[in-house]
Amino acid sequence: MLDRAQTETLGFVLVFAIITASIGLVYASGFTGLNHVREFETVNNAERAFEVFADNMEDITHRNAPSRSTEVKLAGAQLTIADPIQIEVNDPDAGFNVTYDVRPVIYDPGVRTGSEIVYAEGAVIRSQRDGGVVVSEGTLLLGRNRTVIPIVQTRLDGQGSVGGSTTVLIRATLAQTRLVYVNDTPSNQVWFNVTSPRAAIWRDHLTSAYGATCSMSGNTTSCYVTTDHVAVTQYQIDLGLE
């Protein structure tokens, strides 16, 4: 009887330990999975907010709005008007060359997902550890018949970085619009160059979206198209976080 009682006790303890371990494993894996889903959806929400921001910026650059404000929920991320990248337009045959500093707006959720959402030069970019993609390309046009290059020269005016779980307004105000260059020479070669930590994303996008001939050296992507008409317009837009 004693041996039987000991056997039943040991069996109960073993079964109970297996059940407890299984529950712990399911809880741990399920909790991790839920965290990943939540973090992924947070970045998706930021991407949608940046698409709204890009549309609001087009209100300023193409629909004559003097200013716009865009709401972004941080959800533990950092929103920054970052150090400048450089946009260069070069028409060597005509002796035209301009370079502008452009400040990207970056939503950085930290190390959790490895993704960033970036607005720069009218485009919204989803940057990831293994590359990235342009999810909204703005109004840039590189074409055989017509090339239109809007330089969206975003500048810092006010607070440039906010983190935490608050909701932030990106305030954008037009400072100046200026037609910089027009050339109607047939079969003219025009270069559009981007110096940025995301140069490879720009190279891939400009190649696939416009058929531009692109190369990359360091952090600079250099692309050219042969076009019959080119126009370059500069939009100086002051940004601040509130």
Q: What share of the chain is helix, strand, coil (3-state, %, to 5)?
A: 30, 45, 25
pLDDT of residue 167: 96
* pTM (two decimals): 0.85
Enter the tokens of residue 112: 């959790």
Q: How many CB atoms lie within 10 A of CB 46?
A: 23
C-alpha dist (Å) from residue 118 to 52, 53, 199? 13, 11, 13
Q: What is the arithmetic mean of pLDDT over 90-95?
A: 97
pLDDT digits (tens, 9 = 90+) for 165-216: 999 999 999 999 999 999 999 999 999 999 999 999 999 999 999 999 999 9
CA pair distance 198, 208, nearest whole angstrom: 16
Q: Is the pLDDT of residue 22 over 70?
A: no
CA pair distance 150, 233, nearest whole angstrom: 5
CB-based contacts of 71: which residues, under 8 Å, 6+ apart? 49, 167, 168, 169
C-alpha dist (Å) from residue 109 to 40, 78, 164? 10, 6, 10
In this structure, are residues 201 and 127 in contact, taking their beta carbons and an 8 Å threshold? yes
Q: What percent of the chain has pLDDT over 70?
A: 82
Q: Is the pLDDT of residue 128 over 70?
A: yes
Q: Is the pLDDT of residue 21 over 60?
A: no
Q: What is the arithmetic mean of pLDDT over 81-103?
A: 98
Q: Is the pLDDT of residue 129 over 90?
A: no
